[in-house]
Amino acid sequence: MGQVRWGLLSTANINRRVIPAIRQSARGELTAVASRSQESADSYAQHWDIPQTFASYEAMLASDAVDAVYISLPNHLHADWTIRALQAGKHVLCEKPFALTLADVDRMIAAAQETGLVLAEAFMYRHHPQMKLVEAFVRDGRLGDISLIQSVFNFQFKSRDNIRLIPEYGGGSLWDVGIYPVSFAQFVMGGPPDWVFGFQEKGDTGVDEFFAGQLHYGHGRVTQISSSFLTPYHTRSVVVGTKGRLRMSRPFTNVEESEMVFYPDSGEPEYVDIPEEPLYLGEIEDMHAAILDGRPTYLTLAETRNHIRTVLALYESAAAGKPVFL
Ligand SMILES: NC(=O)c1ccc[n+]([C@@H]2O[C@H](COP(=O)([O-])OP(=O)(O)OC[C@H]3O[C@@H](n4cnc5c(N)ncnc54)[C@H](OP(=O)(O)O)[C@@H]3O)[C@@H](O)[C@H]2O)c1
């Protein structure tokens, strides 16, 4: 098998970013889309020029036409459809957040181990060259000892008719976008926090539309995160160390517009060139390397399990109004 034949499991909005990435990739082709109705699958396939359609997710999983599926369902459906896809013999790239409970994360990991198939969370920003630059700054010691990370991810909806506002679907700003700052902190700090403190403002549907969290890593190291559906699109991160700080204006999305600046403890700020690469290409190429070359995925399931654990602890803390130890 020299190519990976992809099937889209749903006609979700986010697919519009992943479809070009599959087509840009060296070893992937988009062969099918499944939707809950034939009509929707057909009109989607026509719009995106996809050769094969399925009128149910089950039908695509039962077919030999695809090797790997991209799961872009609402959050509460990720776990069950990932497991069903693995059991049907498909490799799986599942959207973030991977699952809403640790029990589900563990069931998904067990299914991948039992079937020997590739499973990864689709956290595209982790694969982008901007993050490789951050990794180099941290690894090379240019920032010194890191004491603080501050990250924000806010945006507003065009319409209130959105899966992100439905509590049973795993709605909420922390699950949706706050998880990026949580994952970024884990990447830079090298693991999950020891304890967290969370604060949430819920909206009329019962999900958090604003979340602020403080994550503690021992030795005075702290991360502050916030996420919101209440204010216009805004993202940023700053990583502060004993020898300087690194600031990014677009750490997670729209990275082609990102400005990355290193401020040393003395001297002029250094504007860092970020290599251009389509944001969603890395996660697709990484799946191909895992499926076709047997390489481990860059974003491991252990890392995924840890940021889900941290998000759950933040929600538990916000609900209880107390710190939660992991
Ligand atoms: N990595 C990223 O950059 C990124 C960005 C945005 C979203 N996401 C993630 O991608 C996932 C989808 O988000 P989205 O905004 O693209 O979602 P969306 O446009 O609302 O699409 C969700 C799709 O799921 C299917 N579906 C199955 N059961 C459903 C139900 N009960 N209610 C609604 N839809 C149902 C529908 O497809 P059919 O009608 O075809 O069956 C629908 O089109 C989420 O997990 C989100 O966190 C990731």
Q: Which residue ranges make up each domain of the chain?
A: 4-122, 126-280+308-325
Residue to probe by mutation, ligand 1, list 8, 9, 10, most atoms within 8 Å of CB:
10
Residue 311 has pLDDT above 80, yes or no: yes
Indicate the pLDDT class of residue 7, thresholds 50, 70 and 90. very high
User: Could you tell me which CATH class the domain 4-122 is placed in?
Assistant: alpha beta
What is the predicted pLDDT for the residue at 176?
98
Tell me, in angstroms, the distance from the centre of ligand 1 to residue 231's CA: 22
> How confident is residue 158, by pLDDT bands cut at 50, 70 and 90?
confident
Kindly write down the DSSP assignment for every residue of 127-175, as one continuous string: GSHHHHHHHHHHHTTTT-SEEEEEEEEE---S-S--GGG-GGGT-SHII
- Looking at the predicted structure, is the pLDDT value of residue 114 above 90? yes
Does ligand 1 lie within 6 Å of residue 95's CB atom? yes
Reported as a single tens digit per residue, the pLDDT across 26-74 is 999 999 999 999 999 999 999 999 999 999 999 999 999 999 999 999 9
Radius of gyration over every alpha carbon of the chain, rounded to an integer in angstroms: 20
Distance separating alpha carbons of residues 219 and 190, to the nearest angstrom: 14
Ligand 1 binding pocket includes 14 (Cβ within 6 Å): yes
* Fold of the 126-280+308-325 domain: Dihydrodipicolinate Reductase; domain 2 (3.30.360)
Which residue's CA is the nearest one to ligand 1's atom 43?
12
The residue-averaged pLDDT of 201-206 equals 97
Region 75-102 average pLDDT: 98
CB contact set of 60 (below 8 Å; sequence gap of 6+): 7, 9, 32, 33, 34, 54, 66, 69
Residue pLDDT, tens place only, 227-280: 999 999 999 999 999 999 999 999 999 999 999 999 999 999 999 999 999 999
Nearest CA to ligand 1 atom 18: 12
Asked whether 127 lines ligand 1 (CB < 6 A), one says: no
First to last CA, the chain: 42
Ligand 1 within 6 A of 148 CB? no
pTM over 0.95: yes
Task: Name the average pLDDT for the chain.
Answer: 97
Instruction: Please check the confidence at residue 293 and state whether its pLDDT lies above 90.
Output: yes
Ligand 1 centroid to Cα of residue 8, in Å, is 11
Strand 52-54 and strand 324-325: the pairing is: unpaired
Any atom of ligand 1 within 6 Å of the Cβ of 82:
no
The catalytic residues are 96
Cα of 319 from ligand 1 centre, angstroms: 27
* Confidence (pLDDT) at 204: 96
pLDDT at 40 (0 to 100): 98
pLDDT 10s digits, 23-38? 999 999 999 999 999 9
